[in-house]
Amino acid sequence: MKPFVGETPDCALCGGSDFETRLLGVRDLVWQKPGHFRIQECSACGLLMTRPRPNPEELAGYYEGAYSGGTGQGDAKKDGATSGLTRRLGRYRMDVIGKVRPLHEDDRVLDVGCSYGGFLKVVRDEAGCSTSGIDYDAGSIEGAIEPELCDYRSGTLVDATYD
């Protein structure tokens, strides 16, 4: 197994630079892609991050032949975005977010890595928020659910031009 050689950024939440390794050798169990991840915890705030994070070339390899691309599973995955399981997971995520700050209809929610937009649909339906979603996989965005109700974009957050 080859470790990633990408960046080791400071904490995305508090800017801290002291980390402790919590998990080593984490592998892609869904797509069985090569390589492994290390999960580190920020000593200041406890945020868990993939660190080092894959560089763009390594990340691109994870999308090749996966998600919507070339698997023949695109429709099934899109159907999964509106399944009962997705709705239950979406409500669970909203509960977790609500422990920090409950969502209200005047909130705007951005889902980074939104896939077909299943979680964002739950957010719209349950809390009435306006939603935006971005995913590296252009095929997921092309087939995203309820495109008339959400600002979907493909690409990376770093390259996106949100307000």
Instruction: Give the nearer residue to Zn ion in terms of CB position, either 1 or 96.
Output: 96
Within residues 99-158, the interface with Zn ion by CB under 5 A covers: none
Total number of residues binding Zn ion (CB under 5 A)? 8
Instruction: Give the nearer residue to Zn ion in terms of CB position, either 43 or 71.
Output: 43
Instruction: Give the nearer residue to Zn ion in terms of CB position, either 20 or 159.
Output: 20
What does the angle CA 78 – CA 82 – CA 88 come to, to the nearest 5 degrees? 130
- HSE (CB half, 13 Å, CA atoms) of 30? 6
Distance (Å, whole) CA 157 – CA 135: 8
Q: Residue from 7, 8, 13, 102 that binds Zn ion (CB under 5 A)?
A: 13
- If one asks whether residue 16 binds Zn ion (CB under 5 A), the answer comes out as yes
- If one asks whether residue 45 binds Zn ion (CB under 5 A), the answer comes out as yes
Instruction: Give the nearer residue to Zn ion in terms of CB position, either 2 or 99.
Output: 99
Number of H helices, E strands in the chain: 5, 6
- If one asks whether residue 14 binds Zn ion (CB under 5 A), the answer comes out as yes
Residue 16 C-beta: closest distance to Zn ion, Å: 4
DSSP for 61-112 reads HHHTTSTTSSSS-HHHHHHHTTSHHHHHHHHHHHHHHHHH----TT-EEEEE
- If one asks whether residue 11 binds Zn ion (CB under 5 A), the answer comes out as yes
Strands 108-112 and 130-135: parallel
Residue 65 C-beta: closest distance to Zn ion, Å: 35
Q: Is 146 exposed, middle or buried (0-12, 13-18, 19+ CB in 10 A)?
A: middle
- If one asks whether residue 60 binds Zn ion (CB under 5 A), the answer comes out as no
- Contact footprint for Zn ion (CB under 5 A): 11, 13-14, 16, 42, 44-45, 47
